[in-house]
Amino acid sequence: MNLKIPSPKEIESAHERIRPYIHRTPVMTSSAINEITGADLHFKCENFQKAGAFKARGTTNAVFSLSEEEAVKGVATHSSGNHAAALSLTARKRGIKAYITMPRTAPDIKKKAVEGYGGVISFCEPTVESREETCREVIEKTGATFIHSYSNSQIISGHGTAAKELMEQISKLDAIVTCVGGGGLLSGISIWAKYENPGIKVIGGCPENADNSYRSFISGKLQSHKTPNTIADGLKMPLSELTFKIIQKYVDDIVSVSEEDIVEAMRLIWERMKIIIEPSSAVALATVFKKSDILKNRKVGVILSGGNVDLKNLPF
Amino acid sequence: MNLKIPSPKEIESAHERIRPYIHRTPVMTSSAINEITGADLHFKCENFQKAGAFKARGTTNAVFSLSEEEAVKGVATHSSGNHAAALSLTARKRGIKAYITMPRTAPDIKKKAVEGYGGVISFCEPTVESREETCREVIEKTGATFIHSYSNSQIISGHGTAAKELMEQISKLDAIVTCVGGGGLLSGISIWAKYENPGIKVIGGCPENADNSYRSFISGKLQSHKTPNTIADGLKMPLSELTFKIIQKYVDDIVSVSEEDIVEAMRLIWERMKIIIEPSSAVALATVFKKSDILKNRKVGVILSGGNVDLKNLPF
């Protein structure tokens, strides 16, 4: 597994590699939300990305970096979320198999997303042990390459292209704000942003109910992970050694936000911007509100990480 | 009241007039929906327009066409929907009053939208007679100019700019599809589309449960209006003499679609495109499905008319 800190050069290469397969997502603004926050916000719409989330950037970079010999055996991961769907779609684009380990208890909508993109699902019990064991068995049987959803340099390099694109699209940003769960997105974003402009502020936001990254950041030590219970289902994983190291080096601040603030930010974006974002994306706007003291009157990039929500189960 | 058929030249002038005040809305595509429909669809996203609907095009043209003497007395209309919100916003931009007559029974969310844009509401009983009488009284008292929501040449010219923009953004369309209620949007669109390309097909879609336009079109005679009961609340008004005349002259076909098909099309756009559209917008995609025989393999512009929905009251 590739576990070194990616260089800006690797993010540049990743961008060249993935460009034919992903969307250059638009950047949107909202005068109404600018008025409410007092900041000049530029939303990078990864909810419009292939498979509905930024994850396709990382998986495309990882899958298209494989040699022919590796690729032919397929790729594998354990995930029930956007990473699983993105990996399945990307594998299909390269014409190889994606083996996805997923708990039996995962919602139907997530199983269907993976199957819809041609992923091969192995079901496990809903425990970390069962998940890892099942995935290991699949890999032993198939020889597939394991692609971790965030603790992987190529995944992080791929995610970093979101910042590269955003800074090409909008010049002179004072800050970039994004959500943080396992930390793959924040890692990639921060490496690129600080490379291009060392003075830019990079701020991460996590749910109070899944605040491993916040506790780790303020204590300076990777903290243990409590069972998270948050509507932002994309942010339930803890930082890894790799992402924590990157975040300590390049990120200026991490804050945590309440469930109420997440839902309120989500409603604001749905109602005012007329776009569908998932709760994890809303964490970024909730973070802007929480850091309004330093972001007021600033030009701020906000990464909207994804738009995959179950319309039958909305928090409004 | 200005009741003649607008010329393409007037749509051009309207575009110059309104350009500083409205969004040049983006055109989006969806490979998933193209696959399902078999057509090459280009969605003109008026859900991202100021005040959340195409209506701002017409009201901006009408309000900014007023002389200083007229303008100073304000504008008036009876509407509880997107026209009322758009007229209020536009009037505020010109620094004049918008007097809106609205039934007491209108949903709170609609009252708030108008008030939020600075409109002055007069409440009436929920009957056509009470609405017209109340509005007439307001006009007598204030001297405001009445701006009908669709039976008005300047409103129609303004709406026609949506087709002008779309045809600038996407070349060589074979057809344009849009929803039809009172017919202001379809009128403006069809005048411009046929002027720029006489061979283009212009197709309107209405709900089966509000099909005055469909019945009028196939019978060649303006039909009486039954009380409509449709989820597409923007399409409950009947054609006027003016819009019927334009539609007879420039529109190739009108079809009607079921409530189920409207909800299904709405869900498809929400889930696949990650954008919020109101049910009236979904009527346009439902129409594409209904006319798939002639639209298959064609390059089709689809007008998404608006994105104002009550998140507490969704059909999913």
Q: What is the mean pLDDT of chain B?
A: 96
Q: Which residues of chain A are within 8 Å of residue B271 when distances are taken between CB atoms?
A: 311
Q: Which residues of chain B are within 8 Å of residue A267 when distances are taken between CB atoms?
A: 311
* Residue A141 CB neighbours (<10 A): 11
The whole-number pLDDT of residue A256 equals: 98
The whole-number pLDDT of residue A109 equals: 84
Task: Write the DSSP symbol of residue A203.
Answer: E
* Nearest chain A residue to B109, by CA: A271
CATH 1.10.10.60 fits B8-54+152-304, yes or no: no
Banded model confidence at residue B106, pLDDT cuts 50, 70, 90: confident
The whole-number pLDDT of residue B52 equals: 96
3-state secondary structure at position B288: helix
Q: Which CATH architecture has domain A8-53+153-304?
A: 3-Layer(aba) Sandwich (3.40)
Q: Has residue B284 got a pLDDT over 90?
A: yes
Q: How far apart are CA A89 and CA A117, in angstroms?
A: 5
**A307–B52 CB contact, under 8 Å:** no
ipTM metric: 0.94
Burial B57-81 (b: 16+ CB within 10 A, else e): bbbbbbbbbbeeeebebbbbbbbbb
Nearest to B275 among A275, A311, A316 (CB): A275
Q: Has residue B139 got a pLDDT over 70?
A: yes
Nearest to A48 among B267, B270, B274 (CB): B274
CA distances to A61, A157, B53 from B278, rounded to whole Å, are 37, 38, 9
The whole-number pLDDT of residue B227 equals: 80
Task: Write the DSSP symbol of residue B275.
Answer: B
Nearest to B276 among A26, A28, A275 (CB): A275
Banded model confidence at residue B225, pLDDT cuts 50, 70, 90: confident
Q: Which amino acid, one-letter code, is at B252? A: D
pLDDT tens readout for residues B82-92: 999 999 999 99
How close, in Å, is residue A86 to chain B by CA atoms?
15
Task: Write the DSSP symbol of residue B208.
Answer: G
Average pLDDT over every residue of B230-246: 96
Q: Which of B192, B178, B161, B163 is nearest to B56 (CA)?
A: B161
Q: Which residues of chain A are within 8 Å of residue B314 when distances are taken between CB atoms?
A: 311, 314
The whole-number pLDDT of residue B80 equals: 78
Q: Which of A305, A181, A197, A304 is nearest to A252 (CA)?
A: A197
**B275–A270 CB contact, under 8 Å:** no
* Nearest chain B residue to A268, by CA: B311
The whole-number pLDDT of residue B107 equals: 83
CB of B282 within 8 Å of any CB in chain A?
no
Q: Which chain A residues in 10-29 lie under 8 Å from chain B, judged by CB atoms?
A: 26, 28
**A311–B277 CB contact, under 8 Å:** no
Ordered mean pLDDT values, 10 residues apiece, chain A (316 residues): 90 98 97 96 98 97 98 94 96 98 88 94 92 96 97 98 98 98 98 98 98 98 90 95 98 98 98 97 98 97 96 92
Domain boundaries, chain B: 8-54+152-304, 56-146
**Count of CA atoms in the C-beta half-sphere (13 A) of A77:** 27
* Nearest chain B residue to A275, by CA: B275
Edge-to-edge, what's the strand order for the sheet holding A40-45?
A27-28, A40-45, A299-304, A175-179, A201-207, A253-257
**A316–B311 CB contact, under 8 Å:** yes
Residue B109 burial class via C-beta count within 10 angstroms: exposed 0-12, middle 13-18, buried 19 and up: middle
- Taken as a whole, chain A contains a residue count of 316
Q: Which residues of chain A are within 8 Å of residue B274 when distances are taken between CB atoms?
A: 47-48, 52, 275-277, 307
CB of A35 within 8 Å of any CB in chain B?
no
* Residue A112 CB neighbours (<10 A): 11
Burial B222-251 (b: 16+ CB within 10 A, else e): bbebeebebbbbbbbbbbbebbbbbbeebb
Instruction: Return the sign of the alpha-carbon dihedral for residues A11, A13, A18, A19.
Output: positive
Q: Which residues of chain A are within 8 Å of residue B52 when distances are taken between CB atoms?
A: 274
pLDDT tens readout for residues B7-26: 999 999 999 999 999 999 99
pTM summary value: 0.95
The whole-number pLDDT of residue A80 equals: 78
Q: Please, what CATH class does the domain formed by B56-146 belong to?
A: alpha beta
Same fold for the pair B8-54+152-304 and B56-146 = yes
Q: Which residues of chain A are within 8 Å of residue B276 when distances are taken between CB atoms?
A: 270, 274-276
Contact by Cβ (8 Å): A133, A124: yes
Name residues whose C-beta falls within 8 Å of residue A258's C-beta, 6 or more positions apart in sequence: A207, A208, A286
* Residue B128 CB neighbours (<10 A): 11
Helix axes A108-116, A82-94, angle to 10 degrees: 10
Q: Which residues of chain A are within 8 Å of residue B316 when distances are taken between CB atoms?
A: 311-312
Q: How far apart are CA B220 and CA A259, in angstroms?
A: 57
What are the φ and ψ backbone dihedral angles of B303, each rounded to 5 degrees? -85, 120
Interface-testing mutation among B48, B49, B274, with chain A (most A C-beta atoms within 10 A): B274
**A274–B316 CB contact, under 8 Å:** no
The whole-number pLDDT of residue B1 equals: 60
